[in-house]
Amino acid sequence: IRGTTNFDEANFPYDIIYVMSRYFHRMDKVIGEYGGVINNYTGWRLMALFGTEDDDRVPERSVWAGLEMLKALQELNSDLSKLSYNPLNLSIGVHYGTAIILPVSCSAGMQRITALGRAIEVVGRVESANRKLGSELLVSNSIYKRLPQPPVIHRHGEIDVTKKGTKYPVFEVIQMVGDPPEKPEKTTGQNTPLGQRIAAFMQKFGRSR
C-alpha cells in the first residue's frame, strides 16, 4: 500500500483493523482466484507467489491478478469513501524468476512458507520503481517477454539490479490483451496448505537418500 505514512497514527485502532482486514481479504481472494498464494505480510506490504503448482500460464496469471487487485481496490475505496475513510493507493511489482520455497514451522504448530533467492530482491526493486515512474503496476522484462500477447503499456523505465548498475527494463501494464486464463481448479492434494505439502516432500526426499 502506498502513502500509508502516519496511517496508524492518524486513525483509531478500530478504524485500522476495519480498513486493513477488508483490504487483505479482497487481495487474498483475487490472488487465490488466479492461482497465487500470499507468502507473507510485512507491515503494509504483502508478497504473493505464483507458480507453486505446475502451470505454464504463471506470468499471464500474475499480471491479470495485479490488474484485478487494482480494480478490487477501486471498489473498496468506493465503499470506504461512503464511510468517510481516505482512499488507499496500491503499488504492485511483478517479476518472473527462480526462488527457493522453504517451509517454516511456527511455535503454534502452523506451517508457513518463505521464499528465498535473487528473484525476491528483484521484484522488490520492480515494485519500488512505481514511486519514480508514478505508476501502479510494473512488470519486469522477464514477465513481459513471457506474456502470450503484448499488453497495453503506458510507461516504461529501467531499474538497477546489480551493484554495478546493470539496467533492467520495467513496463507499466494498464491492460491485458485477450481473455483472462481460466481460473485454476484445486485438486484434493492442493487443499493441503502449501507449507505442509513442501514439508512432506522434503521428508520423503530425505528418506529416499
- C-alpha grid cell for residue 205? 526426499
Distance CA 100, CA 186 (A): 22
Those residues whose C-beta lies under 8 Å from the C-beta of residue 15, and which sit 6 or more positions away, are: 85
- Residue 126 near residue 140, CB atoms below 8 Å: yes
In 3-state terms, what secondary structure has residue 155?
Answer: strand
- Nearest CA among 94, 167, 147 for reference residue 124: 94
Cα–Cα distance for residue pair 119/125, rounded to 1 Å: 10
- Average pLDDT per block of 10 residues along the chain, 209 residues long: 72 86 94 92 89 83 98 94 89 95 72 86 95 96 96 95 85 96 65 56 49
- Radius of gyration of the chain measured on its C-alpha atoms: 18
Architecture of domain 7-208: 2-Layer Sandwich (3.30)
Give the type of residue at 89.
Answer: N
| DSSP reduced 3-state for 40 | strand
For the chain, give the longest Cα–Cα distance: 60
Prediction pTM value: 0.84
pLDDT per residue as tens digits for the range 125-151: 999 999 999 999 999 999 999 999 999
Residue partners of 21: CB distance under 8 A and separation at least 6: none
**Packed helices 13-33 and 58-82: angle between N→C axes, nearest 10 degrees:** 150
pLDDT at 134: 94
How confident is the model over 196-205, as pLDDT tens digits? 655 554 454 4
